[in-house]
Amino acid sequence: MMLTSGLRRRSVLAAGAIALPFVSRAQSPMVIKLSHVVAEKTPKGQASLKFKELAEKSLAGKVQVQVFPNSQLFGDAKELEALLLGDVHFIAPSLSKFDRYTKKLQVFDLPFLFDDVAAVDRFQAGPKGQELMKTMTSRGLLGLGYWHNGMKQLSTNKDTLKRPEDVKGLKFRIQPSDVLEAQFRALGANPQKMAFSEVYQALQTGVVDGQENTWSNIYSQKFFEVQKTIAETNHGIIDYMVVTNSKWWDGLPADVRKALAEAMTEATAFGNKLANDFNEGDRKKIADAGKAKIQVLGKDDLAAWKKSMEPVWKKFEGDIGRDLIDAALKSNR
């Protein structure tokens, strides 16, 4: 008897539950999750919050955007899979983190390819850059925009960091990119792929000797507190592609998709305008803190770094395609 009434109660509840979604869908907003791995006071952190603000304004009552910074929801290792599983709706991984989905984006990792972020921007805005946002749709990933961070600097726990010979034999944390792995091998160093959230501790405990990153990340993650020297190499870039799950995106009501796309375009422009200032400001804060020395490099030093890293280009040209490399080179003025 108990069992039957229990079942009956459950089926009454279930019947009620069938009617409920229509009521609750009309009343409660759709929850949209955006996850990233950096701090809020970074270009990516600020662009994410801007997106939330704009999307919630234009879709008032219809969507709620939840932003999770600092790998709180998903770290590097999980975020792409989580997006494909539908557990998060937008992520903005660095362009170095798509290796498993396309080889084409490796173009962004080639050392000394872009002179500055303005050149990166021109390349991304051009036909090749725009095409790249659609290269992963067959894998379920759709690019909605490029978000800027900045040029990479090299840091170690050594007093001397001026010439390529100074990093021979040292261990470096890298993002999960084969190009970056080859770059450090070309220098005679030992690269180790590692999630962003683990870098501070790895530097602090000496699991690795150094890393490469933007001023913004070096400051906001406090890497400068556990490194002795930061060489101003500007040898590469860290930039992002905001991606969504293409199936989820295509399944959205047209008006919602349109409003989200507009919010994304505006948030992208907002964040990208901030990126250079963030990096300059954070470089100054690091200099003022006086913990790590900033090693400015002369022309000869930079030429030596460039020469040491050059072999990487040949190695990956086949996978990337000469057309992409040429288009990227043309964006330098």
- Summarize as ranges the residues that interact with ligand LMR (CB under 6 A): 37-38, 94, 149, 175, 196, 213, 217, 238
Q: How far is the CB of 97 from ligand LMR (least distance, A)?
A: 7
Question: What six digits make up the tokens of 317?
Answer: 């040209």
Q: Which is nearer to ligand LMR, 62 or 78 (CB)?
A: 78
74 near 82, Cβ under 8 Å?
Answer: yes
237 near 150, Cβ under 8 Å?
Answer: yes
Q: How far is CA 292 from CA 91, 152, 204, 271, in A?
A: 32, 16, 13, 28
Q: How far is the CB of 251 from ligand LMR (least distance, A)?
A: 28
Q: Which is nearer to ligand LMR, 175 or 331 (CB)?
A: 175
Q: Which is nearer to ligand LMR, 166 or 212 (CB)?
A: 212
- Among candidate residues 264, 237, 212, the one with its CA nearest the CA of residue 32: 264
Q: Report the phi/psi class of residue 208: left, alpha or beta, with left for phi > 0 and alpha for psi in -120 to 50.
A: beta
Q: Which is nearer to ligand LMR, 63 or 106 (CB)?
A: 106
Tell me how far apart the alpha carbons of residues 103 and 236 are, in angstroms, rounded to a whole number.
Answer: 17
Tell me how far apart the alpha carbons of residues 97 and 179 are, in angstroms, rounded to a whole number.
Answer: 11
Q: How far is the CB of 28 from ligand LMR (least distance, A)?
A: 32
Q: How far is the CB of 238 from ligand LMR (least distance, A)?
A: 5
Q: How far is the CB of 237 from ligand LMR (least distance, A)?
A: 11
Tell me how far apart the alpha carbons of residues 279 and 215 are, in angstroms, rounded to a whole number.
Answer: 5
Q: How far is the CB of 118 from ligand LMR (least distance, A)?
A: 19
* Burial of residue 186 (number of CB atoms within 10 Å: 0-12, 13-18, 19+): middle
